[in-house]
């Protein structure tokens, strides 16, 4: 039996490529398998908004570094990180978001803050609150656009039964 010139292993008479290294018998380059990349249709995750609670008490906590809640909206998910010593991270994929709501008291309106509520199909967090964030309506609009873009990119639409 003949031997491969690249790796030295035996191959069957009449073979076009070495079964071990993939080099062509006539000396051509090895053949590599073509597998579709898992990330070929996914995009890089981009942070769209990041913030912390902004009420008066939260601002005081921030001065002494006790305000440990961070809200993040990316192009693919929503994250709420809380905790000083023990950390808790709650995440919701944008594809699971059903509805958004902003609530503001009179005091909140004077301070320019509000609470954004995210309603989702997530079993562990059907409601996620962004408490006392600055410019809550703008954050809601950023999140709404991100949810729409993610659902369009994944060909997801909803039908309501009446």
Number of CB atoms found within 10 A of residue 119's CB: 15
Whole-angstrom distance, CA of residue 118 vs CA of residue 98: 8
Degrees (nearest 5) of the Cα angle 73, 61, 48? Answer: 10
Q: Where are the domains of the chain?
A: 1-33, 47-153
The pLDDT of residue 69: 87
3-state helix/strand/coil string of the chain: CCECCCCCCECCCCCCECCCCCCECCCCCCCCCCCCCCCCCCCCCCEEEEECCCCHHHHHHHHCCCCCCEEEEECCEEEEEECCCCCEEEEEEHHHEEEEEEECCHHHHHHCEEEEEEEECCCCCCEEEEEEEECHHHHHHHHHHHHHHHHHHCCCCCCCCC
The pLDDT of residue 128: 94
Evaluate whether 7 touches 20 at the Cβ level (below 8 Å). yes
Evaluate whether 89 touches 79 at the Cβ level (below 8 Å). yes
Tokens of 124: 């562990």
Tokens of 149: 């873009």
Class (C level, CATH) for 47-153? mainly beta
What are the pLDDT digits (tens) for 25-64? 776 655 554 444 444 455 789 999 999 888 666 555 555 5
The pLDDT of residue 62: 52
Q: What is the mean pLDDT for each group of 10 consecutive residues in the chain (162 residues)?
A: 72 73 67 48 83 69 65 95 87 95 94 95 92 94 95 82 70
Evaluate whether 134 touches 51 at the Cβ level (below 8 Å). yes
The pLDDT of residue 149: 93
């Amino acid at each position: 039996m003949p031997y491969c010139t690249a790796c030295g292993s035996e191959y069957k008479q009449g073979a076009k490529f070495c079964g071990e290294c993939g080099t062509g018998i006539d000396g051509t380059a090895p053949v590599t398998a073509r597998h579709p990349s898992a990330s070929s249709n996914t995009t890089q995750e981009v942070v769209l908004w990041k913030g912390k609670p902004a009420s008066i008490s939260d601002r005081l906590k921030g001065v002494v570094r006790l305000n440990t809640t961070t809200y993040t909206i990316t192009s693919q998910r929503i994250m709420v990180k809380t905790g000083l010593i023990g950390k808790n991270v709650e995440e919701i994929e944008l594809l699971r978001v059903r509805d958004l709501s902003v609530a503001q008291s009179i005091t909140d309106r004077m301070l320019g803050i509000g609470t954004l509520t995210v309603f989702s199909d997530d079993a562990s967090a059907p409601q996620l609150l962004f408490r006392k964030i600055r410019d809550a309506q703008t954050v809601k609009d950023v999140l709404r656009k991100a949810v729409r873009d993610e659902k369009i990119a994944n060909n997801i639409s909803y039908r309501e039964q009446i």
